Structures are given as C-alpha cells and as structure tokens.
Structure 1
Amino acid sequence: MLKCISGMLKGIYSLFLTIVIIGFYSCSSSNSKPLSIEFSADSSAIVIASIDRPGLLRLQQLDAQDSVFKDLIAVLQTPSETDSSISEEPIAGNYKVSDSTVVFSPLQPFVKGREYLVITHINAKFGDAEQVAKGQLSLGVKPVQKSLIR
C-alpha cells in the first residue's frame, strides 16, 4: 500500500513539475523573433515589426492619436560625435498600425547622417524562462532600444 502511495506521489510530482516547466516556457515568448526596428525602404519612417500577436491586436484597438503610443514608442534625436549642438529630444510624429507592423512617421523628415534612438515597451518582458528558472528576473520591464542612423 505504501509503495502504491509513494508511486502515485512521484507521478503527481512529475506531472506538476512538467506543467510548471511548460508554463514557464509558454509564458516566456509567444514570438521567437526579436522585435525588428528599422527605417522604411525610403527612410521616411520607422517600421516596428515582429510584434507579438496579442500586443498587436491591442494596439489596433487604439486610436492612432492616443497618447499611449507616445508612452509605448519614443523616437529621440541624439547628439552625434560630429555635431554636439544637437540635444537629445523627442521627435514629433504620427503612428499607424497595420496588420503586422507599427509605423512612426515624423512630422519633419529624418535628416541624413543623424542618429535616432527608438525606445519601445512593445514586446518588453520581465524575463524569459531561463531567467525565471535561475531566479534572475528584473524588478521592472526593460524597454527595447535601437539606435538608427539615417
């Protein structure tokens, strides 16, 4: 009888462990591709692609003029080594959400040779399954940052 109960407890324990591991794995990333932040082909806009599906659906429900976009996606003009007179300041522009991307179009065209920093919380995470398992989660969500030169 004790062997039977012991075997049953081992089975329940391994089932529980399997469910926990699968749960961590499935929560870690629904989209294995990293977020893509690039200039459009003509460099007139910034295109953000590889957005996880639930996040993209939520963005599609927002009005393009909603201030949430400014909180989720910031585009900054950054000073360069050759021109330090430029201050780091946000670039004003419009946002458009398509079926697979978010496009930022500045009100003033991007200047050739200038560096722009894109900071976004789209697809941002506390950590992945490996970090959860190792106990290395961060206390806050780390935004995705990418520097682009026009």
Structure 2
Amino acid sequence: MDSTKIILQHIDQAGLLALKDIKEGDSVLNELVAVLQTPSERDSAIREEPVAGKMLLTDSNVVFVPAQPFVKGRDYLVITHLNIRFGSAKEVLKGKINYSMKPQQKLLTR
C-alpha cells in the first residue's frame, strides 16, 4: 500500500479469469473488495466509512485506486471475498465445514 493504490495479489487464476469476463462498470468487483478508513489509537475521531475509488484488473492482480490519496498515518481496513473457498473434500467428510463464507480482512496503515 502506498498513497496511490492497494494491490491485491496471489488471486486464484480461475477466479481472475472469471472477473475479466465481467462487463466494464459492473459492480461485482466493488462487492468483492471493500476499503474502509477506520479509527485508530492515533486518530479516534475518524468514523469508519468506505473509501471512494475504483477497481482495476491487471493480468495477475486486482488494484484499488482511491479517489483521493490515502492519508499518511491513517488506518484502512481491506475486506475481500477473493480466493475464499467453501472447504476441501477432507473437511466436508470430517464435518468441519463452516456454512458461511468469511471474508479475509487486513488492516493497513499508510
């Protein structure tokens, strides 16, 4: 993460190909990845709210470009449903499946 973008890497190739088939302007990408500014110990007056921006697809990545540069010292929460799987055959057979898909979350500080 820098002040200009967040790059999401190591995306399953099949999933990336499916995303590339989505028509330009479709909101699916925005539903798969969310970026929120969040309060922190350094700045608790900030409200948690979505960061405006756009998603771009490259050959191997999804890139979030904010409408305004990220603010130095501020925390941002990235929530993504990319690369989430339901469960392996082994987990299904052992009954260790969680019936809801939990997004991956990562807290980033600029």
Give the TM-score taking structure 1 as reference length: 0.68
2:62 is the counterpart of 1:65: no
Gaps of 5+ in 2: none
Question: Which position in structure 2 is the counterpart of 1:97?
Answer: 57
2:41 is the counterpart of 1:76: no
Aligned length: 110
Gaps of 5+ in 1: 1-38
Q: Could you tell me whether the CA contact under 8 Å between 1:77 and 1:115 is conserved in 2?
A: yes
Q: Could you tell me whether the CA contact under 8 Å between 2:3 and 2:71 is conserved in 1?
A: no
Q: Deviations for 1:3-38, whole angstroms, at most 9, x for unmatched residues? A: xxxxxxxxxxxxxxxxxxxxxxxxxxxxxxxxxxxx
Report % sequence identity.
Answer: 55
Query: Larger strand proportion, structure 1 or 2?
Result: 2
**1-structure distance, mates of 2:94, 2:3:** 41
Query: Larger helix proportion, structure 1 or 2?
Result: 1
Q: Which has the higher Rg, Structure 1 or Structure 2?
A: 1
2:85 is the counterpart of 1:128: no
Q: Which runs of 4+ in 1 moved over 6 A?
A: none
What's the C-alpha RMSD, in Å, of the aligned pairs?
A: 1.4
Q: Which has the higher contact order (CA 8 A, sep 6+)?
A: 2
**2-structure distance, mates of 1:95, 1:62:** 12
2:109 is the counterpart of 1:149: yes
Matched letter for residue 13 of structure 2: R
More deviation in 101-110 or 130-139? 130-139
Q: Could you tell me whether the CA contact under 8 Å between 1:64 and 1:97 is conserved in 2?
A: no
